[in-house]
Structure 1
């Protein structure tokens, strides 16, 4: 279990906060608006009313003890930058920042934060990939153009072998595991037979994954 601090409890910030709570972590939520902070007082581990652009106020919160501090401030770029600079001055090591514009990203990148997030852009990419690869339920980029994808096996692929499903990819797509109800099968052979409603995890480039799409829709 880790402890996270989320600064800015707008739609993005509170969604991240509640999901972290759901995953078993503790979360301190910070917002300068009393009504917003009070709204989530029973759902988060702790809520704090604080002007995050004020370094003296942030100093009282021992933010350096958080595993990660996420600056989720929305459209107020000045407040986001002042908050990020204050966190750096306070010795916070892991700082993630939501950037709303290219200029925001450019300036934040100069401050040496751990990660810059573009939620709208990233969600737009995910939607585009979902439209382009309808057989994919979820996917994760692991760098160097590779993705791990989660595919729900449809009736058309019931009792098909892994070798048959992946034959068009000519070895470029790797089978990772199959989840079937409460069982997991990580050691897969080419003769393993898929069943309807299996969750099939694969690894490959999006172009290679697209090659096998006709056999999975």
Structure 2
């Protein structure tokens, strides 16, 4: 279990906070708006009213105990930048920042944060991928041109092997695991027989995954 601090309790910050708690972590939520803090005080591990642009106020939060700090401040770029700069001055090592514009991204990148997030852009890409590949439930870019995708097995592939499902791409795409109900099956080989409703996780390049898409519809 880890502890995180989320600064900015708008829709994005609250969604991230609640999901982290659902995953078993603890979360301190921070916002300068007392109404926002009061609204979520029962849902978060801790909720604090604080002006996150004030370095002295942030110092009182003992952020060194957080595994990471997420700056989820919305459209107020100035406040986001001042908060990020204050966190850097306080020696916080793991800082994630939500950026709303290219200018925001450019400036934050100069501050040397751990990761910059573009929620709307990233969600737009995920929606486009889902529209383009309706058989894909989820996908994750893991770098170096590789993606992990989750595919629900359709009736036409029931009792067929992974080798059959992948066709001649079976040597370039790696099957990672199958979720079958509550069971997670790993150590797959291409002779493994699939069942309708299985969730199959595959790893490969975008071109390879696009190539086999028609076989999986």
The TM tier, using the shorter chain, reads over 0.9
Deviation at 1:184, TM superposition (A): 2.2
Tell me the TM-score normalized by structure 2.
0.97
3-state DSSP of counterpart to 2:16? helix
* Match in the other structure for 1:185: 185
Aligned to 2:108: 108
- Within 5 Å, give how 1:3-14 maps onto structure 2: 3-14=3-14
**1:1-217 matched pairs, under 5 angstroms:** 1-217=1-217
Distance across 1 between alignment mates of 2:192 and 2:82:
55
Q: RMSD of aligned C-alpha atoms? A: 0.9
For the 8 Å contact 1:157–1:215, the answer to whether it is kept is no
How far apart are the structure 2 equivalents of 1:120 and 1:4?
Answer: 22
C-alpha spacing 1:113/1:30, structure 2 compared with 1 (3 Å): same
Tell me, what secondary structure is at the counterpart of 1:212? helix
Alignment coverage as a number of residue pairs? 217
Give a deviation string over 1:179-199, Cα, whole Å, max 9, x none: 111222212222211100011
Distance 2:104 2:171 in 1: 42
State how far apart, in whole Å, the 2-side matches of 1:170 and 1:187 are: 15
Q: Secondary structure at the match of 1:36?
A: helix
> Do 1:37 and 1:47's aligned partners in 2 also have CA atoms closer than 8 Å?
yes
**SS of equivalent to 2:79:** helix
Deviation at 1:8, TM superposition (A): 0.1
Which runs of structure 1 show a deviation greater than 4 angstroms over 4 or more consecutive aligned residues?
Answer: none
Which segments of 5 or more consecutive residues in structure 1 lack a partner in the other structure?
none
Task: State the alpha-carbon separation in 2 of the partners of residues 11 and 137 from structure 1.
Answer: 24
* SS in structure 2 at match of 1:44: coil
Query: Is the contact made by 1:168 and 1:211 (CA closer than 8 Å) also made in structure 2?
Result: no
TM-score between both structures, scaled by the size of structure 1: 0.97
Equivalent residues of 2:136, 2:149 under 8 A apart: yes
Provide the rounded CA distance (Å) in 1 between the counterparts of 2:87 and 2:65: 12
Q: Work out the CA distance in 2 between the residues paired with 1:170 and 1:185.
A: 18
- SS of aligned partner of 2:184: strand
Change (3 A) 1:170 1:154: closer
2:177–2:188 CA contact under 8 A, matched in 1: yes
